Amino acid sequence: MEKARVEFVLNGKAAWVESDPRKPLLRVLREDLGLTGTKQGCDLEGECGACTVIVDGVALRSCLLPVGKIAGRSVTTIEGMGSREAPHPLQTAFLEAGAVQCGFCTPGMLLSAKALLDRNPHPTKEAIVTALEGNLCRCTGYVKIIEAVQSAAELMGGEARTPASEARTQETIPDPAASAMGREFSGIGGSPERHKGWERVSGEALFAEDISMPNLHYMSVVRSPHFHARVDALDVAPALEVPGVLRVLTAADIPGENGLADYSLDEHLLAPVSGRVRMLGDPVALVVATSREAATQGAKALRVDYTPLPHRTEIDRALEAEAIPIHDGGNLLAEDEVGTGDIEGALGESEVVVQSKYITSFQAHMAIEREAAVAYIDEEGRVAVICANHEPHWDRSSLSKILGLPEGKIRVITPPIGGSFGGKQDIWPMAAAALAAYHLRLPVQLAYTRREVMDAAPKRHPYKCDCVVGATREGELTGMKFDALINKGAYDSAGRYVPNYAVTAAVGPYRWKATKARARSIYSNGPKAGQFRGFGTPQAAFAMECSLDELCEKLGADPLEFRLRNALRENDVSGLGFRVAESLDYVKVLEALAPDYHEASLGVAAFNAEAKPGLRRGLGFAGMWYRFGKFGRPLSQAEIELGLDGSFTIYASGADYGQGIETVFTQLAAERLGVSREALRLVNADTAHTLDGDVTGASRNTYWVGGGVTDAARGLRAAILDAAASLLDQAADTLTLRDDRVSSPRGELSLARIAQELEARGIPRRVKGTIDLRDVFPDNERTGLYLPMFVTGACLAQVEVEIETGLTRVISVSSAHDVGRVINRRGAEGQIEGSIVMGMGSVLMEEFIPGLSTGFSDYMIPTMRSTPDIRVHLVETPSRYGPFGVKGLGEAAMLATAPAMVNAISRAIGLRIRRMPATAERILAAIRGEKTTE
């Protein structure tokens, strides 16, 4: 391809490239100029905004700009925005406001904001939304981004400004006991800047796809174009003929197990010849080449002969005898059931019973970063993979089985992750890249296209739920039945656990006389469904909290009063048949929303009384509980080291994909050590350096890994004080450790001095900390594998429906969550705000259609314009065993949002909506009394 010389100005300096002038500026920046701060989220089609740059003062999509077009123009990228020493006010404001979670959309967002402020120094909120709504963010719910831009505008205008860091939380509802625990250090409960925040606002953070290495090679994946087919033959020769293609890898090249180990019990890494592909995008072969283009062409050239088989992406008839068998052994992957009391008796005696069916759809995570991995042979001869994950040690163990290598010959490194929401728990990308590096002994990069993410990465399971709930006329709950058919898609991908999550969430934090909940995971030829924020619980919470709302309407009961009356108390036996093991105060959560609830009720009534033509508002309420912490050993560990120079380094494993666990680790350690966060380094989630922290999932990391970090800080502090005590000849309890020294009335010692003393005495400077609850949970006979620890939350949503079109807008949302103890206020708010907007997407617009959904252009996620007014209430009921009383939040925040919004829609139109998403089309059909296909 003929190249042309294009000259332009880049970040204030003359630049030129020799390039095909059609090549998008985005690729030129990243590939030819090594400026990887500009991100790619979609397939170069202008859908996500992550690649935004400023050209002659205007924010543009660099993926849509042929580089030829910028000849003579002046381009500003994130690298030209500010420096660590002289940051742009927007960079500062984004960090202060907590507007950065994963940081992948951040460079584009910052440049859109900069272009705005450069031409309009005092933008209204509407102007901010107009300028930034083209930039998608999946983490933050946009609330703090808007605040950050407003704050930067004030800063740049030289006005006295409300720091964006001032918390948005309406209030914290503390536990009286919490004050006894003290807030003696500034670290806990504040809103510190994100750990490695600067890297994320400057473009310096290297996400997996940004990593360059000498001699880096590229991979492309040959994927099934069929939903279900037998692989008859593979001809790799045409691929090998493509110039630049080095190697094709097939199932025959897998040295160990052709599987994904514990992540997915029935899934192959590559479909073998005479085996089957069971979903669109099912991988068949890997092509490794010297360039992306060659790899892609090689994959296209490779010939696969398939015999297509009948397929279904639905599960409605999957358990019938004549159903298409997707795996040998039938289409039922797993089922679970819980129950207490005499359910038929309880329902039979109920004066009011509601029976209904609730349906949800496949949903996609839509992290802005696509799946990517870099694998290479490291200096110790290990197969090393840099790839997003949720627990590097688990993945190392899985890779060991796949590659047939001892774990010591494998290293898994966690890079900055551009959003996951559970999706990047899939070990396929990592395994595929590792296999290539293993064979070629070369550095290899794999990056999914967005289309591959859509087809082949996990999705949220669609549910069909039959629900029955009963109550006495006075409004006392009696019995509940729940039966869910869960569309698993083609492979396990941890779906074997989902039925348990479903039934647990369905029972909810209520006092039932009797319960009976069942859920079954069933195969289809849909995409493999896997972990997605809440992992099987949001669908069940949607079904049950909407059922309860129906019951309220039938009883004429107030939804908040009704839940208060029936709320499970800490010492009650739950509908699962056992008591919870951690503190639980659902009543306090519900009461936290009471003022907002009453205010919004009046507002809605007043609006509807005005009878604005064609518009109706509704108020919806929902509660929830969420079992945080998953199953497995009730034990977690981490380490902290005192360096000989007196510095601290935390060694822990808790993947940070935007939720901010790294910030929390540094806060917990700083608090316990008595030093500032700046004094701490963190080595996180690298199997070569850190202990197994167990999986980052089920909102468990702050509690468990944080528990290990806190205990390590305690242990190291004690060792330091002991050493100092003997050096100073003082009792250890008269000493203070602050910042870089230990002081006493008789003198002080630097930490470096103490470190040398420890070294001289042979006392370890690297201390392991443990949270060990094996005594608390001696056996889990009653609770199954899972630890019975729950958090509760509740949500209130106000919506407006246009009666003639069904178009619905979420106007305001209030959310209350028991977080145990606030560690990072902005971080906690950010999790809730992001969940509310993600939940809103699932209610109003998000529906993944297998084979049709191709990316951001047809799988809609909310934009900034849709963000409602959000109020967050953080409720503190300290946990008994977690560090500083913490509980889990990140996933929990998801559960109550969707049912609150759907209840609001149902109440606005006076008709029940029982399906998600409740698109305008479905709402209008309900209003018009039309039968829908379901």
Partner 1 sequence: MNYVFPSTLAEAVDILAANAGRARVIAGGTDLAPMFRDGKIDASVLVDITRIAGLGEIEIGDEWIVVGAAVTFAMLRDTPYFRERVPALAQAAASVGAAPIQAMATWLGNIAQAMPAADGGIVAVALEAEALVEDPAGSRWVPVETLYKGAKTSSLDSTRQLLSHLRFPRPRAGWASSWQRSGRRPSLTLPILNCAVTLRLAPLATPQAQAATAGLATTQAHAAPAMLAAPQAPAASAPAAAPEGAAPFATIASATIALGPVATLPFRARGVEAFLAGKTPDNYVIEEAAALATSECHPRSNPLRASGDYRSALIPTLVGKALREARDRAIATMVREQQ
The answer to whether residue 313 forms part of the interface with partner 1 (CB under 8 A) is: no
> Which among 211, 635, 283 has a CA at the least distance from the CA of 431?
283
Interatomic CA distance for residues 253 and 438, integer angstroms: 10
Candidates 12, 121, 325, 614; binder of partner 1 (CB under 8 A) is: 614
Number of residues that bind partner 1 (CB under 8 A): 59
CB nearer to partner 1: give 51 or 427: 51
Whole-angstrom distance, CA of residue 535 vs CA of residue 326: 23
Torsion on CA atoms 310, 312, 316, 317, rounded to nearest 10:
10
Q: Cα(371)–Cα(366) distance, rounded to whole angstroms?
A: 11
- Using alpha carbons, select from 255, 286, 256 the residue that is nearest to residue 270: 286
- Shortest approach of partner 1 to residue 112 CB, angstroms? 7
Beta strand segments in 548-591, E: none
The SS3 of residue 12 is coil
Among residues 7, 71, 602, 605, the one that binds partner 1 under rule CB under 8 A: 71
The nearest distance, CB 426 to partner 1, in angstroms, is 24
Give the shortest CB-894-to-partner 1 separation in angstroms. 20
Question: How far is C-alpha 710 from the geometric centre of its chain's CA atoms?
Answer: 24
Site membership for partner 1, residue 852 (CB under 8 A): yes
Whether 222 and 354 have beta carbons less than 8 Å apart is answered as: no
- Of the candidate residues 11, 15, 33, 68, the single one contacting partner 1 (CB under 8 A): 68
Torsion of CA 250, 254, 260, 265, to 10 degrees: 90
Q: Taking CB under 8 A as the criterion, which residues in 325-354 touch partner 1?
A: none
* Contact with partner 1 (CB under 8 A) among 792, 863, 877, 879: 863
Which amino acid is located at 174 in the chain? P
Rg (CA), the chain: 28
Exposed (0-12), middle (13-18) or buried (19+): which is 731, by Cβ within 10 Å?
A: exposed
896 binds partner 1 (CB under 8 A): no
Q: Is residue 137 within the footprint of partner 1 (CB under 8 A)? A: no
**What does the block give as tokens for 376?**
């290479």
Is 613 one of the binding residues for partner 1 (CB under 8 A)? Answer: yes
Instruction: Quote the least distance from Cβ 45 to partner 1, whole Å.
Output: 5
The token pair that represents 920 in the structure block: 């305008």
Question: Whole-angstrom Cα distance, residue 216 to residue 214?
Answer: 6
Q: For residue 43, what are the CA distances in angstroms to 225, 373, 451?
A: 19, 17, 7
CA 232 to chain centre: 38
The span of 215-223, 364-372, 754-762, 848-856 binding partner 1 (CB under 8 A) equals 848-856
| Of the candidate residues 47, 282, 336, 483, the single one contacting partner 1 (CB under 8 A) | 47
Stretch near partner 1 under the rule CB under 8 A, chosen from 38-46, 242-250, 470-478, 631-639: 38-46
Write the single-letter amino acid at 514: A
Residues 8-27 interacting with partner 1 (rule: CB under 8 A): 20-22, 24
Number of C-beta neighbours around residue 928 at 10 A? 9
| Cα–Cα dist 856/224, whole Å | 22
Residue 807 in the binding site for partner 1 (CB under 8 A): yes
DSSP 8-state class, residue 748: E
Binding status of residue 3 toward partner 1 by CB under 8 A? yes
Site membership for partner 1, residue 292 (CB under 8 A) = no
* By CB under 8 A, residue 633 contacts partner 1: no
CB of residue 210 to partner 1, shortest distance in Å: 20
Based on the shown chain and the rule CB under 8 A, indicate whether residue 858 belongs to the binding site for partner 1.
yes
Choice from 28, 29, 63, 664 touching partner 1 (CB under 8 A): 63
Nearer to partner 1, 71 or 644 (CB): 71
Which of 176, 928, 929, 931 touches partner 1 (CB under 8 A)? 928
374 binds partner 1 (CB under 8 A): no
Rounded least distance, CB 147 to partner 1, Å: 20
Least distance from C-beta 552 to partner 1, angstroms? 27
Rounded alpha-carbon distances, angstroms, from residue 173 to 191, 306, 855, 870, 921: 17, 61, 41, 17, 40
Does the annotation mark 891 as catalytic?
yes
Task: Specify the stretch interacting with partner 1 by CB under 8 A; choose among 3-11, 531-539, 592-600, 778-786.
Answer: 3-11
Helix (H, G, I), strand (E, B) or coil at 335: strand
Instruction: Tell me whether residue 121 or residue 255 sits nearer to partner 1 (CB atom).
Output: 121
Rounded (5°) CA angle 378-382-384? 65
Answer yes or no whether residue 58 interacts with partner 1 by CB under 8 A: yes
Selected from 860, 895, 902, 909, the binder of partner 1 by CB under 8 A is 860
- Residues of span 593-612 touching partner 1 by CB under 8 A: 611
Q: x/- site string to partner 1, residues 77 to 116, per CB under 8 A?
A: -----------------------------------x----
**89-97 vs 143-156: helix axis angle to the nearest 10?**
140
Residue from 398, 853, 903, 906 in contact with partner 1 (CB under 8 A): 853
Q: How many CB atoms lie within 10 A of CB 921?
A: 13
Q: Which of 322, 846, 891, 930 is catalytic?
A: 891
The distance of closest approach from Cβ of residue 370 to partner 1 in the complex, given in angstroms and rounded to an integer, is 15
Q: Which is nearer to partner 1, 131 or 640 (CB)?
A: 131
Kindly tell me which of 359 and 683 has the beta carbon lying closer to partner 1.
Answer: 359
SS3 of 645, please? coil
Binding mask of the shown chain, residues 114 to 133, with x at each position contacting partner 1 by CB under 8 A: ----------------xx-x
Is 61 among the residues that bind partner 1 (CB under 8 A)? Answer: yes
Q: Are the C-beta atoms of 649 and 681 separated by less than 8 Å?
A: yes
Report residue 772 as tokens: 């060990």
Determine how many CB atoms are found less than 10 A away from the CB of residue 237: 11
User: In the chain, what is the straight-line distance between the N-terminal and C-terminal CA atoms, in Å?
Assistant: 52
According to the binding rule CB under 8 A, does residue 46 interact with partner 1? yes
Q: Which phi and psi (to 5°) does residue 246 adopt?
A: -100, -35
Q: Which residues are catalytic?
A: 891
Binding site for partner 1 (CB under 8 A): 1-4, 6, 20-22, 24, 43-47, 49, 52, 58-61, 63-66, 68-69, 71, 112, 130-131, 133-134, 136, 611, 613-614, 803-805, 807, 844-845, 849, 852-853, 857-860, 862-863, 865-866, 919-921, 924-925, 928
